[in-house]
Amino acid sequence: MVQKSKNDKHVISVVLPCLNEEETLRASIEKAFEGIKRTGCVGEVIVADNGSKDASAEIGKKAGARVISVSHKGYGSALMAGFQAAKGDVLVMGDSDDTYDFREIHKLYEVFLTGNDLVSGNRLKGNIDPLAMPFIHRYVGVPVLTLILNIFFWTNIWDGHCGMRLMSKGAYKKMKLQSTGMEFASEMLIRASRVGLKTSEVPISYGQRHTKSYSKLNTFRDGFRHLWLIFKYAFGMV
C-alpha cells in the first residue's frame, strides 16, 4: 500500500517531458498545479527538458516549475530523469503540449486511493476532441497495439499510449524501466504486469495540439518501436 506523508497527505510530483513547447508549457504547468490542488494534496511540477531551443526552460521556471535539464535524449529518458528528481511519493506523468487536462488529476488520484498502484487515463473512452488524434492513431495504432500488448501481458489498460498516468513512487521503482523513447509507455504497462502491480484506468479528456511546434511522435517509427518492445519482452529478449 502507498506510504502517506507526515501530515497524512500524499505529496504529488507531476513530471512534464518537454521538447520545444514554449506555446503550451505555461498552461500545462498551471493546470498541473490546479490538478494537485484539487486532490487536496501538496506537490510540485517538474519540467524535464531535453535542450529545448525555444523559451521552454525560462517559461517553466517563471510558471513555478522545477526545470531539470536532461542530457540523454528521448521521451522515456526525460520521464525517468524527472521521476528520479521527484520529491513526491505519488508521481504523475503528462505531456507539456496542453493536450491533457491536468485539472483532472484528481480522477486518477481517487482511483489510486481505492488500492491501485498505477492508474492510467483512457482517452478513447473519455472526452476526446475529434481532431486530437489522427484517424490512424485513434482507430488503428492505439487499439491494435494495445490489444497485442494485452494478448501477451494482461495489463487491464486499453489506451496503451496514454501519456497521463499516476502511480506511487514505490510502484515506479519496482518496474525498473529502461526505455528511452516513446515506447516507454508500453514498457511501463508490460513491467507493471510482470511485477504484479494493481492497475486501473479512468476516462480523461484529450485535446488537440494547437501549436506551431511539431509533434515529436512519428507514427511508423514509434509504432514500430512499441511493437518491437512488446515482442522483445514476449520472447524473452529483455
> Which 3-state string (H, E, C) describes 162-202?
CCCEEEEHHHHHHHCCCCCCCCHHHHHHHHHHHCCCCEEEE
Contacting residue, 11, 14, 15, 18, with ligand GTP by CB under 6 A: 18
> Is 78 a binder of ligand GTP (CB under 6 A)?
yes
Q: Smaller CB distance to ligand GTP: residue 116 or 126?
A: 126
Which stretch in 89-97, 108-116, 118-126, 197-205 sits in contact with ligand GTP by CB under 6 A? 89-97
Contacting residue, 73, 87, 125, 173, with ligand GTP by CB under 6 A: 73
Which 101-160 positions form the footprint of ligand GTP (CB under 6 A)? none
Which stretch in 67-75, 107-115, 146-154, 224-232 sits in contact with ligand GTP by CB under 6 A? 67-75
Binding site for Mg ion (CB under 5 A): 95, 97, 99
At which residue does the C-alpha cell 496503451 appear? 160
> Is 183 a binder of ligand GTP (CB under 6 A)?
no
Rg (CA), the chain: 16
Contacting residue, 13, 39, 96, 120, with ligand GTP by CB under 6 A: 96
**Cα 135 to Cα 157, 202, 206, 210, 218, distances in angstroms:** 20, 22, 14, 17, 14
- Binding partner selected for residue 98 from ligand GTP, Mg ion, none, CB under the kind-specific 5 to 8 Å limit: none
Assigned C-alpha cell, 114: 481505492
Q: What are phi and psi of 48, to 5 degrees?
A: -100, 100
Cβ(91)–Cβ(172) below 8 Å: yes
Which 215-234 positions form the footprint of ligand GTP (CB under 6 A)? 215-217
User: Which residue, judged by CB position, is nearest to Mg ion in the bound state?
Assistant: 97
Which stretch in 32-40, 66-74, 187-195, 197-205 sits in contact with ligand GTP by CB under 6 A? 66-74
* Residues paired with 43 in a beta bridge: 12
* Residues paired with 200 in a beta bridge: 119
User: Which residue, judged by CB position, is nearest to ligand GTP in the bound state?
Assistant: 215
**Of residues 32, 75, 18, 69, the one with CA closest to residue 211:** 18
Closest approach of ligand GTP to the CB of residue 38, in Å: 22
